[in-house]
């Protein structure tokens, strides 16, 4: 079963606009991670936010975490055509009693038009 | 800087054939993982190996076996392939707690 659920499933914006994706999850977590997947490629790690953190930044990326609402958001500012990809949230909730095991959501497909 | 390497990249099998997918990492990571990704879905965990010498079932282990050959290599075997196993398979490795996983580029497997 999927732990995380991203919203929206698909998002289409113009270059230069901001893109916001949301992730909700069901159980307590050790950390939450965001990954990007370009078409036909593997997943690339973007940001990891620990359960005791509320916000993290990396370049044009901003991630927030609200553990009381069991939700996270990924903001991409000043988007570029190269940001076109699928974005996945993944939670480390100690699946199988082992820290580090991730449960992935179904992803948000972002399309940035030039 | 190879990271996680998966072979082969593409494979077509007939129902009932067997096959082993190979994965190797050069980052000295303890933990390794096998996932499958189906259209419109996120990744689902098949098997994982928390450390050399140990393997455990994930969310969707049926029809698969794994071997952690050494610290670097973690293979996934389909003993009798079924069309439902048509998918993209990803291997990943993890260096430690609160660290991100590192992924290979995947193996695209079609079973006819």
Q: State the average pLDDT over residues B34-46.
A: 91
What's the pLDDT band for B41 if we cut at 50, 70, 90?
Answer: confident
Report which of residues A101 and A32 the model is more confident about: A32
Q: State the average pLDDT over residues B12-27.
A: 97
Which residue among B33, B96, B103 sits closest to A42, beta carbon to beta carbon?
B103
State how far the Cα of A6 lies from the Cα of A47, in Å rounded to an integer. Answer: 16
Quick check: B35 pLDDT over 70? yes
- What does the radius of gyration of chain B's CA atoms come to, in whole angstroms? 13
Least confident residue range of A10-19, A70-79, A97-106, B53-62: A97-106
Tokens of B89: 């398979």
> Exposed (0-12), middle (13-18) or buried (19+): which is A1, by Cβ within 10 Å?
exposed
- What does the radius of gyration of chain A's CA atoms come to, in whole angstroms? 14
Query: Which pLDDT does position B66 carry in this prediction?
Result: 97
A101–chain B nearest CA distance, Å: 8
Query: Which pLDDT does position A31 carry in this prediction?
Result: 93
> Which of B4, B30, B42, B89 to mutate to test binding with chain A, by most A CBs within 10 Å of its CB?
B42
Query: Which pLDDT does position A93 carry in this prediction?
Result: 80
State how far the Cα of A58 lies from the Cα of B24, in Å rounded to an integer. Answer: 29
Quick check: B95 pLDDT over 90? no
Q: How far apart are the first and last CA of chain A?
A: 36
Contact residues for B110 (Cβ-Cβ < 8 A; gap 6+): B11, B12, B13, B86
User: Which residue in A38, A43, A47, A46 sits closest to A85, CA to CA?
Assistant: A38
Contact residues for A97 (Cβ-Cβ < 8 A; gap 6+): none
User: Which residue in B86, B77, B90 sits closest to B13, CA to CA?
Assistant: B86
Tell me if B57 sits within 8 A of B2, measured CB to CB: no
Question: For A52-69, what is each residue's pLDDT tens digit?
Answer: 999 999 999 999 999 999
Q: State the average pLDDT over residues B69-78.
A: 96
Which residue among B31, B42, B104 sits closest to A2, beta carbon to beta carbon?
B42
Query: Which pLDDT does position B1 carry in this prediction?
Result: 63
Quick check: A1 pLDDT over 70? no
Q: State the average pLDDT over residues B14-34.
A: 96
Report which of residues A65 and A102 the model is more confident about: A65
HEC profile of A11-47: EEEECCCCEEEEEECCCCCCEEEEEEECCCCCEEEEE
Compute the mean pLDDT over every residue in chain B, rounded to the nearest whole number.
94
Whether B50 and A103 lie within 8 Å, measured CB to CB: no
A52–chain B nearest CA distance, Å: 12
User: Which residue in A40, A41, A45 sits closest to A102, CA to CA?
Assistant: A45
Chain A within 8 Å of B90 (Cβ-Cβ)? yes
């Amino acid at each position: 079963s999927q732990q995380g659920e991203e919203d929206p499933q698909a998002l289409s914006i113009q270059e230069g606009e901001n893109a916001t994706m949301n992730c909700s999850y069901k159980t307590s977590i050790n950390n939450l991670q965001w990954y990007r997947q370009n078409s036909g490629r593997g997943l690339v790690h973007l940001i990891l936010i620990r359960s005791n953190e509320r916000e993290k930044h990396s370049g044009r990326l901003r991630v927030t975490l609200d553990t009381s609402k069991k939700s996270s958001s990924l903001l991409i500012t000043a988007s570029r055509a190269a940001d076109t990809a699928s974005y996945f949230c993944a939670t480390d909730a100690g699946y199988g009693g082992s820290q580090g095991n991730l449960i992935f959501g179904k992803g948000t497909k972002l399309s940035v038009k030039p | 800087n190879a990271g996680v390497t998966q072979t082969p990249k593409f494979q077509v099998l007939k129902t009932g054939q067997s096959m082993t997918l190979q994965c190797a990492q050069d980052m000295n990571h303890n933990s390794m993982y096998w996932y499958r990704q189906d259209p419109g879905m996120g990744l689902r965990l098949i098997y994982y190996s928390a450390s050399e010498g140990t393997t455990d079932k994930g969310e969707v282990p049926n029809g698969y076996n794994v071997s952690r050959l050494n610290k670097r290599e973690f293979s996934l075997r389909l003993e009798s392939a079924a069309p439902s196993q048509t998918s993209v398979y990803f291997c990943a490795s993890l260096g430690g707690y609160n660290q991100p996983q590192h992924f290979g580029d995947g193996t695209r497997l079609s079973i006819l």
